[in-house]
């Protein structure tokens, strides 16, 4: 399944708010997967200098990732498909 | 919370009696899953704090009763179908802004308590000051105060023990396993003393509810659901 990065601008966000968002993301992904629309939150990176997060999801489509984030009520600025690359792959 | 089930198992040609005390771990993922279920069950478009409270109570309940401090909260009285999973079309629901604030508060409580993760205890504690909605109703009905609620919540998840009699099982290993709420099919079959293929048949047939890890093939079974395949012996002398 393709991977997607969800970019967010979250000025002033606290670590606690990020945890809360994570709880919501997990539950919404699980729910959508149970509904037959698989979405998996893989991991997230927080960039303190820019107050941005890059959250990686695995899903069949961009729209599924978008819906998961909307259901979880986590704001985002952009969702784009990414190509995975690891040191082992080069 | 502690619960004991006697399991008569025919295993390797011999009858073995296991007494397993199941241990519960409060799980915020379970609570949020039940919260979403509660919202869907009520045809709501959003998951509200009321649904989250119901989800938390469902997550800490046994047989539809959530024991919290001196209170035994009947989930049926709160309108929760604690047995069935939702049937038919599953409407889409999103978290409400109030639910977001509540979970944010739970995360802040976890931080102030010095806990690394957010658990169902922290979410329940976040309701302590709530005077409206379902929490307000519970406070009025049961005479709950913020302090008594927090005191009861703080006692959740107290250490439980496990006892296993017979079979010569390694106690330490089983204590470690029993600390987990979710089991693999192999672990679940071992707990009941049946073949793993039998357990998989139970799962396929719906006798044992099972969950798939989000986006993965791995299956997990809720330990407390194992008793659903147990039926009391009638007209037969029980071994002790």
Q: Where are the beta strands (DSSP E) in chain B?
A: 2-11, 14-23, 46-47, 61-62, 65-68, 71-74, 94-95, 182-183, 211-212, 219-222
At residue A71, does pLDDT exceed 50? yes
In chain B, the residue whose alpha carbon lies closest to the alpha carbon of A29 is B214
* pLDDT for residue B17: 27
Residues of B in contact with A64 (CB under 8 A): none
B93 contacts chain A (CB < 8 A): yes
Mean pLDDT (chain A, rounded):
95
Residues of A in contact with B29 (CB under 8 A): 23, 26-27, 30
Angle of the B49-59 helix axis to the B97-112 helix axis, nearest 10: 50
CB contact under 8 A, B104 and A15: no
Structure ipTM: 0.90
* pLDDT for residue B217: 74
Q: Under a CB-based contact definition with an 8 Å cutoff, are residues B96 and B47 in contact?
A: yes
Q: What is the mean pLDDT of each run of 10 residues along chain B (240 residues)?
A: 32 29 55 90 91 93 88 87 66 93 96 91 95 93 92 74 37 53 83 82 84 77 80 57
* pLDDT for residue B201: 84
CB contact under 8 A, B104 and A38: no
Residue A90 C-alpha, separation from nearest chain B C-alpha, in angstroms: 26
Cα A28 to Cα B47: distance, rounded to the nearest angstrom:
11
* pLDDT for residue B129: 93
Interface of A to B at Cβ within 8 Å reads 1, 14-17, 19-20, 23-24, 26-31, 33-35, 38-41, 58-59, 67, 70-73
Task: Tell me the mean pLDDT in the region A20-28.
Answer: 96
Mutant choice from A30, A66, A72 vs B, greatest count of B C-beta within 10 A: A30
- The predicted-structure confidence for A1-21, as pLDDT tens digits, reads as follows 899 999 999 999 999 999 999
What are the tokens at B66?
A: 């959530």
What are the tokens at B74?
A: 């009947």
Mutant choice from A1, A12, A16, A58 vs B, greatest count of B C-beta within 10 A: A16
Residues of B in contact with A20 (CB under 8 A): 100, 103-104, 106-107, 118
Angle of the B28-41 helix axis to the B49-59 helix axis, nearest 10: 120
In chain A, the residue whose alpha carbon lies closest to the alpha carbon of B30 is A27
Cα A51 to Cα B59: distance, rounded to the nearest angstrom:
34
Q: Under a CB-based contact definition with an 8 Å cutoff, are residues A18 and A53 in contact?
A: yes
Task: Tell me the mean pLDDT in the region A40-67.
Answer: 96
CB contact under 8 A, B103 and A39: no
Cα B17 to Cα B7: distance, rounded to the nearest angstrom:
6
Any idea how long chain B is? Answer: 240
Bridge partners, B152 (sequence order): none
What are the tokens at B112?
A: 């102030």
Of B29, B94, B212, the CB nearest to A71: B94
* pLDDT for residue B133: 94
* pLDDT for residue B1: 32
* pLDDT for residue B215: 66
Of residues B184 and A73, which shows the higher confidence score? A73
Any idea how long chain A is? Answer: 90
């Amino acid at each position: 399944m393709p991977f997607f990065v969800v970019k967010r601008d979250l000025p002033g966000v606290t670590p606690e708010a990020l945890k809360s968002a994570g709880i919501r993301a997990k539950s919404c992904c699980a729910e959508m997967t149970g509904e037959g629309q698989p979405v998996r939150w893989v991991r997230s990176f927080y960039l303190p200098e820019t107050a941005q997060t890059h959250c990686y999801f695995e899903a069949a489509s961009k729209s599924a990732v978008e819906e998961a984030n909307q259901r979880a009520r986590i704001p985002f600025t952009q969702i784009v498909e990414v190509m995975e690359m690891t040191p082992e792959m080069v | 919370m502690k619960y004991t089930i006697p399991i008569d198992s025919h295993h390797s040609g011999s009858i073995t009696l296991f007494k397993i005390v199941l241990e519960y771990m409060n799980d915020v993922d379970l609570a949020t899953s039940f919260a979403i279920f509660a919202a869907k069950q009520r045809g709501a478009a959003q998951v509200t704090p009321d649904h989250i409270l119901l989800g938390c109570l469902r997550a800490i309940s046994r047989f539809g009763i959530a024991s919290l401090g001196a209170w035994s909260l009947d989930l049926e009285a709160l309108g929760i179908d604690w047995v069935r999973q939702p049937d038919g079309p599953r409407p889409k629901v999103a978290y409400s802004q109030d639910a977001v604030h509540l979970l944010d508060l739970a995360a802040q409580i976890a931080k102030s308590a010095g806990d690394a993760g957010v658990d169902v205890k922290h979410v329940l504690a976040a309701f302590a000051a709530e005077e409206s909605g379902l929490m307000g109703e519970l406070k009025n009905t049961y005479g709950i105060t913020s302090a008594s609620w927090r005191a009861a919540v703080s006692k959740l998840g107290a250490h439980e023990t496990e006892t296993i009699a017979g079979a010569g099982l390694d106690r330490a290993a089983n204590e470690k396993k029993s600390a987990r709420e979710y089991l693999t099919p192999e672990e679940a079959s071992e707990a009941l003393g049946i073949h793993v293929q039998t357990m998989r048949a139970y799962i396929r047939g719906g006798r044992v509810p099972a969950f798939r890890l989000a986006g993965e093939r791995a299956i997990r079974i809720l330990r407390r659901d194992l008793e659903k395949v147990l039926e009391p012996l009638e007209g037969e002398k029980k071994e002790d």
